Amino acid sequence: METFAHFQPPLDFSQRVKALRNRLGFSQEQFAEVFAVSSATVKLWEKGGLYPTKQDWQRIVLFEVEGVKVVISGQRCVSAVSSTLKNRGGNATARDQKANVHRL
């Protein structure tokens, strides 16, 4: 019988998620949209109440390194997020955000 080890991100994962979101100027809702998770999930990540999946953690680390230039997220390519950054005041609509997520 094959067993799989559970993925566990670094101990500082919650601080890193929040710091990245703040550095990008995203609300929890905007960050959730980019990562295709709920805003409640982002809130739990930031409080350390839920570990990101291995795939989500890899994307978070890629965002830390590359910023919003280009991030490959499963079958999605998230690029520039220009309208979100234009509306850095936090008023980008879900429609604006979805316009920045393109299927490959």
Element (H, E) at 78: strand 76-79
CB 100 within 8 A of CB 80: yes
Q: What is the pLDDT of residue 5?
A: 62
Alpha-carbon span 66 to 42, nearest angstrom: 20
The pTM of this model reads 0.64
What residues contact 65, with CB distance under 8 A and at least 6 apart? none
Task: Give me the residue spans of the domains in the chain.
Answer: 13-103
Spell out the per-residue pLDDT of the chain, length 104, in tens. 444 467 889 999 999 999 999 998 899 999 999 889 999 999 999 999 999 999 999 989 988 888 766 544 443 444 434 344 445 454 444 444 444 433 22
Query: How is domain 13-103 classified at the CATH fold level?
Result: 434 Repressor (Amino-terminal Domain) (1.10.260)
Q: What is the pLDDT of residue 8?
A: 87
Q: What is the pLDDT of residue 67?
A: 73
Mean pLDDT, the chain, rounded, equals 73
Q: What is the pLDDT of residue 82?
A: 39
Report DSSP state, residue 7.
Answer: P
| Helix runs in 25-103, H state only | 28-35, 39-47, 54-66, 82-86, 94-99
